[in-house]
């Protein structure tokens, strides 16, 4: 099973430097990737940042929100975040030498809890920690 973090979904649905690679990768998937409820909040935040900084306009944001709803409705398997995953994420961020931020540690904790075989991320720090903890890293 492949766990997908927010950076990949943002690149899938908006124009980012790695969008072509992500679109190709997603189109070639055989199984529906998995993610957590945290994606809903984090994606909304990323979209708001793009809107505030002028990277997209209101019309584009509205279109992306609709595309996201369609993706969340069937193109991703979205699971709830357990209390144990929150605790594990808290422990991860206490290991300050690994550089994990709260949201990334939560994605990683859920992926570990689900025993994901691979994780898809565009975040370099998260990618290093994915490998460190023994999850395969999707190469785009």
Q: What's the pLDDT at 38?
A: 96
Cα 121 to the center of its chain, rounded Å: 6
Q: What is the DSSP string of 52-94?
A: HTTSS-HHHHHHHHHHHHHIIIIISEEEPPPHHHHHHHHHHHH
**Contact between 62 and 33 (Cβ < 8 Å):** no
pLDDT, tens digit, 9 for 90 and up, residues 23-64: 999 999 999 999 999 999 999 999 999 999 999 999 999 999
Q: What does pTM read for this prediction?
A: 0.95
Alpha-carbon span 93 to 67, nearest angstrom: 32
Containing 138, the helix (H) or strand (E) segment is none
Percent of residues, the chain, with pLDDT higher than 70: 100
**Residue 57, φ and ψ in degrees, nearest 5:** -105, 180
What is the band of 95 on the pLDDT scale with cuts at 50, 70, 90? Answer: confident
Alpha-carbon span 100 to 46, nearest angstrom: 18
Question: Is residue 67's pLDDT more than 90?
Answer: yes
Q: What's the pLDDT at 96?
A: 83
Mean pLDDT of 107-132: 98
Please name each of the domains of the chain with its CATH number.
2-137 (3.40.50.1010)
């Amino acid at each position: 099973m492949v766990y997908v973090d927010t950076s990949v979904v943002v690149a899938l649905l908006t124009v980012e430097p790695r969008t072509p690679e992500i679109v190709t990768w997603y189109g070639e998937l055989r199984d529906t990737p998995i993610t957590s409820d945290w994606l809903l909040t984090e994606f909304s935040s990323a979209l708001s940042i793009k809107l505030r900084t002028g990277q997209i306009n209101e019309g584009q944001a509205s279109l992306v929100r609709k595309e996201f709803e369609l993706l969340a409705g069937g193109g991703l398997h979205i699971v709830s975040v357990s209390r144990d995953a929150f605790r594990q994420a808290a422990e991860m961020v206490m290991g300050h030498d690994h550089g994990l931020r709260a949201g990334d540690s939560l994605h990683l904790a859920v992926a570990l809890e689900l025993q994901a075989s691979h994780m898809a991320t565009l975040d370099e720090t998260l990618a290093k920690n994915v490998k460190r903890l023994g999850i395969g890293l999707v190469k785009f």
